[in-house]
Each structure stands twice: as C-alpha cells, then as structure tokens.
Structure 1
Amino acid sequence: MRHGVARFVTGFLALPVALYLFYVVWPFVQAAGYSLTDWGGYSDTQKFVGLDNYVRLFKDELVRTAFWHNVFFLVMLPLVTIALALFLAFLLNVGGRGGRAGIRGVFGSGLYKVIFFFPITLSLVVIAVMWKAVYRSDDQGLINGVLMKVGLVDRDNPIAFVVDPEPFLGVPAVLWWLLLIAVWSGTGFYMVLFSAAMQSIPRDIYEAALLDGASRVHTFFRVTLPLLRDTVSVAWVYLGFIALDMFALVYVMTPDQGGPNHTSEIFASVIQFTAFRKGQFGYACAIAVALAIFTMLLAAAQLRITRRERIEF
C-alpha cells in the first residue's frame, strides 16, 4: 500500500516539479553562469571573467547608493506597515466596548476591513499610475491642484513629490513618497492577516485582562502582541522581500526610472539600467545574484532571530 501511495504521489508531483525546475530554478542557474562573463546580452559572445563582476559591484558607487536606498525600505516598510496593520487589526477586533457579547471590535469593523483591504486587490502598476496622477507636480495633480485652489501652495512653486531630489531626514524625499504608497497599498492585507490571527485568540483572555484592570494599551502589548509574534515574524519576512524589490513603483513613478539624478535607484532599477541601457548583462546578472544571496541570508537571519517555542492557548 505504501509503495502504491509513493508511486501515486511521485507521479502526481513529477510534472509540477519538472516545470518548476525548468522555469524557476534553471533561469537562476543561468543567471549565476552569466554573472561570471562579460556577456552583452545581444550576442552569443561570452568571455569568462570569473569573479571580476562581483569585485566591480563592490566598488560601484551606483550600486552602493541603491543598496542604502533598499536598506531604507527594508527598515521603514516593515516597521510602518506592521505597526499600522497591528493597530487597525486590534481596533477592528477587540478595540470596541465590551457588552453582553463580550469583547468586540469597533462599530462597523466589517466595513472597515473591506475598505482597508481594497488596495491589495489592485495591481501594483495600477496603483503606481493612480498615485502618479495624485503626485503630479503641477495644477493637474490631485494634491497640488487642491492646495493651489485653497491658496496653500503657489502655482509657480508646487510640491515636487517624486521629482524632488532634496533630502529629508537624511533620505531623498522621493523615497519617502514612494514609502507612503507602499504602506498604503499593503497595510490592508496585513491587517486582515493579523485580524485572522487575533480571532484565534480566546476572548476569555482579553476579558480576564480587562477584569484585572488592564488598559487597552497594556492588553495589546502584554496579550495580543506576544501571541501574534509568529505571524508578525512571517509578515516581516514578506515585507522584507517587497522592500528589496519596489521596482514597479520606481519604474512607473520616477523620472528616468531611478531619478531624479539617481536619488530613487534601488537594486532592481540598477539591474534594469545596467542590462538594457548599458548592455552589460553579465554585470547585471552579478548584481542580481548578489541581491538574491543577500535576500536569502536576510530571511534566514530573520527567522532565526524570531524563532521561539510555540505558545499554546
């Protein structure tokens, strides 16, 4: 019987595994191979250069700039998104007044969940195009147009938004505006994720905490957050992957797909610029491989740091 089950499972998985190896794993292997050459991408001529491309990327000023921009997103995007999603999830699940039905969310929580979740149903490119209209630096932009009509912004000096290369708190202003879009588009999904995790927590725990005199703030930090640690850890890893990408927003919204003056460059935009504009596919593959290795190491470190014994309740 066991041999029959094994043959059935093997036969069932053979085709999907083969397709995965061919369309996912093999391109990664090819990219690693190309990263050791000076391939231009548009010819069959490939000269083996060994690790020269990897030595070069550590000296590349544009790569270093993109790295620190990705680090900014890597820190701020998970931090802001998770904090906001936890706050909203707590309000919508246990933030309302207690009653005969026990602890419950704020009034209209079901409607709020639909509204907050809606942005995640849109394609990221659609979101970028929409926000590009919002951020336009003239009177046709939604924000600038409204501010000009009420006299808060001069028509000759509008807010630059994503074309503003000036730093704010030591970071180019354009990155802050892109961060706002990423947080807006992703918070609803993680709010629903945390809401589902909170609903698995027995309401008796919350009621006991409130009877003991715990405030909502203490309940959140002493009860909810510790019980959601595993879910938060997984969300942090997912958001870390998103923070290391951000290509669609940068490509659609910023001038020259990484401007102005390279102030919004990230790893993905540098790879696109190096491969398709400079025709250095071998070097671009080296940058991509370095990014993949960094991403896997980061995910492994994150899961290792947050690993702990499972809390049963």
Structure 2
Amino acid sequence: MKQKTLRLDGGLPAVVVPDAPPLASKRRRKPLTLDKVSFFAVFLGVPLAIYLLFVIWPFLQAFAYSLTDWSGFSPDQNFIGLENYRRIFTDDIFMKAMGNNILLVICLPIITIILSLVLATFVTVGGSSKGQIKGLRNSSFYRVVSFFPYTIPAIAIGIMWGQIYDPSGGLLNGILTSLGFDQFKSYPWLGDKSTAMIATMFVIVWGFVGFYMVLFVAGIKGIPAELFEAARIDGAGRFRTAVSITIPLIRDNIQTAYIYMGILALDAFVYMSALNSGGGPDNSTLVMSQQLFFTAFSKGQFGLASAMGVVLAITTLIFSGLVFLVNRLTGGGKDVSL
C-alpha cells in the first residue's frame, strides 16, 4: 500500500497518511456453459413452468370467468364486470358460509396445535422427572395410535363418524345411554344447530392431531437434552419448560402447522360434505367451498362460483400473510440462542 508524507507548517513532525486501498476489482462472470443452462432449465425452468401452468393460469382463468355470467355448459360468456362479487357479498347464505369458515380458522388450528404440543411433549420429554430425559413409558405405542387416524382418507372418516353420530343407532348415543344419560337416547348431534359445528370440528381435530404430534415430536427431538436437564436443575416445571424452551425452539414447526391447519379450515369441503352434505341445520356447518360447489354444479352458475373461488383464494392468502406477519412481529424472525 502506498503512503503519502505530509509536512505541516511550524516545524511539526511529518504525518504519514496511507493511500486509500484500491477498489476491489469486480469479479468476472463466468460464461454460461451447456451444463449450467441445462441445470437451470431442468431444476428452475421446469418447476416454474409447471407452477405457472397448473396454479397461476387456472387462477387467472377463474378470475376471468368471475367477470362473466358463464353457465358452465354453453360457450356464451357475457362480460358483467364485478356484478358477481356484489351478489356474493349481499348473499346471506354465502356470508353465513364465510362466517363458518372464519370460526373454523380461529378454533381448529389453536385446538389442534395445543393438543398436538401436549401429546408431543408427553411422548418425548414428559416422562419421569428423575434420571435421563425421556418420554412416557410405551411412548412409541402412543405415537402409532395417535397417528393412525391420519392414514384414513377424509371421506372415510366423515362417513364413519356420521354413523357414530347417528341418532337412531349410533355408537356415541349407545355408549352415553348405557352410562345412564337417557337424554342422549336419540340425540341428533349433527342435526342440532347447537352441536353440529362442535361435533364436526371434533372429527377434524381427531383426524389431524396425530399428524401434527409427529411433526412436533421431530422438532422436539432436535432440541439438545442438556437444555431440558438445565431447566430441571434450575427448578423449572413442565409448563415453564414448554413455554421457555420447547415452544421457542420449534416455532417454525408451529407456524407451518398453523398455516396448514388454517388452509384446511378455509376449505373443509370433504369433512363437511360427508358429515352434513346440506350444510347442517340453518346452514350452521355450511362452508364457502360447499356453497361454491352447489352454485356451480346444481345451479349452473359457473361465473358466480368462480367469484366465490377467487374470494376463497384471496382469503387464504390473507390468512397466510397474517400468520407470517404476527410471527415476525412477535419475534419469530430472530434466532434463538441455545
């Protein structure tokens, strides 16, 4: 590095000032080769083309159809602008369905994630408070049993629980009656407005709690056992350990689970159709996807149904964005130091 010598007036000693370092030379871009081009084409171009073709393009088509009065069974498509959107937001039935979806998206993820976290904690670090950190005895058996409902197709789960809830000869009423609760002898769980939604949410939680328990178990297994041992030595109880160690260190897993469960709650078509195909008493279990299906294939109003689909898609995007935003505002983007 070159230096400059400056002499100051008044006989003061010279000051040596180093020159500024030369600017870093720009790195030369390596020329594209056939290998690089083929790599980008296969691993970036093909997935992007598939995504554009099967995700973005159908959504754009649906939006275009939503601006018409297309019946779905004729080539005639008259442009009517935003009339379909005005109709659905002034339709009491669709707004009721949207309210049911919002209720599901609030309750289902919270209930499922809390139960899954509790079960995952029990089978990983919820064992004896003495000795090695471990889960409950026979924890592997509990994992298999709890995960089993997830392996059953959703339509089969809906049909099975529809038979269990049957008021005339269902298993649930039979068990309750045998225990002395005669008021449940012919109780219509899915036919009563006050219990239809609760019974339906129970079925969905039953079907997914085991899957998310396994997801959280994998996350908890990645936490060093020394952290739990240190918390035990410091006198932290199980609840304090879960709040201060487990939840912060598997936060990404919880966020992923919340988004997936929220998307399921905003759809819930299979479960709702299998348990209450007509929307339940006073449309108490009707969801937007059911109303969309009925509008398109029963009424022959595909333009209006496309508008419902666009609203459902935008609602899902808004929900996912809110989850990411809340997670970041509450410190989710920060690294947790071990």
TM-score by length of 1: 0.91
> 1:218 pairs with 203, 225, 240, which one?
240
In the TM superposition, residue 218 of structure 1 has moved relative to its aligned partner by 1.2
Please say if residues 163 and 255 of structure 1, whose CA atoms lie closer than 8 Å, have aligned partners that are also in contact.
no
Report the AA paired with residue 161 of structure 2.
W
> 1:188 pairs with 196, 210, 218, which one?
210
Report the AA paired with residue 271 of structure 2.
L
Report the AA paired with residue 311 of structure 1.
V
Matches within 5 A, 1:42-81: 42-81=73-112
Amino-acid identity (%)? 37
Report the AA paired with residue 190 of structure 2.
V
Q: Is the counterpart of residue 163 in structure 1 residue 191 in structure 2?
A: yes
In the TM superposition, residue 221 of structure 1 has moved relative to its aligned partner by 1.3
Matches within 5 A, 1:17-96: 17-96=48-127
Matched residue SS, 1:201: coil
In the TM superposition, residue 75 of structure 1 has moved relative to its aligned partner by 0.6
Structure 1 unaligned residues grouped into runs of 5+: 168-172
Residue 234 of structure 1 corresponds to 256
Distance 1:194 1:2, change over 3 A: farther
Residue 161 of structure 2 corresponds to 131
Report the AA paired with residue 51 of structure 1.
L
Q: For residues 97 and 154 of structure 1, what CA distance do their matches in structure 2 show? A: 42
Please say if residues 39 and 280 of structure 1, whose CA atoms lie closer than 8 Å, have aligned partners that are also in contact.
yes
> 2:306 pairs with 285, 290, 300, which one?
285
Report the AA paired with residue 306 of structure 1.
N
Matched residue SS, 2:336: coil
TM-score by length of 2: 0.85
Residue 334 of structure 2 corresponds to 309
From the CA coordinates, give the structure whose radius of gyration is larger. Answer: 2
Residue 251 of structure 1 corresponds to 273
Q: For residues 48 and 173 of structure 2, what CA distance do their matches in structure 1 show? A: 51
Distance 1:255 1:148, change over 3 A: farther
Q: For residues 35 and 124 of structure 2, what CA distance do their matches in structure 1 show? A: 44
In the TM superposition, residue 199 of structure 1 has moved relative to its aligned partner by 0.7
Structure 2 unaligned residues grouped into runs of 5+: 1-30
Matches within 5 A, 1:116-155: 116-138=146-168, 140-153=169-182
Q: Is the counterpart of residue 176 in structure 1 residue 205 in structure 2?
A: no
Q: For residues 49 and 144 of structure 2, what CA distance do their matches in structure 1 show? A: 39
Matched residue SS, 2:190: helix
Matched residue SS, 1:179: helix
In the TM superposition, residue 16 of structure 1 has moved relative to its aligned partner by 4.6
Report the AA paired with residue 131 of structure 1.
W
Residue 36 of structure 2 corresponds to 6
Please say if residues 271 and 284 of structure 1, whose CA atoms lie closer than 8 Å, have aligned partners that are also in contact.
yes
Matched residue SS, 1:162: coil
Deviations 1:276-311 (A, max 9, x none): 111111011001101101111110121122022122
Q: Is the counterpart of residue 103 in structure 1 residue 124 in structure 2?
A: no
Instruction: Please identify which structure carries the higher helix content.
Output: 1
Report the AA paired with residue 303 of structure 1.
F
In the TM superposition, residue 66 of structure 1 has moved relative to its aligned partner by 0.7
**Cα RMSD, aligned residues only:** 1.8
Please say if residues 128 and 252 of structure 1, whose CA atoms lie closer than 8 Å, have aligned partners that are also in contact.
yes
Aligned residues: 303
In the TM superposition, residue 20 of structure 1 has moved relative to its aligned partner by 3.8
Q: For residues 2 and 95 of structure 1, what CA distance do their matches in structure 2 show? A: 55
Q: For residues 189 and 122 of structure 1, what CA distance do their matches in structure 2 show? A: 12
Report the AA paired with residue 48 of structure 1.
F
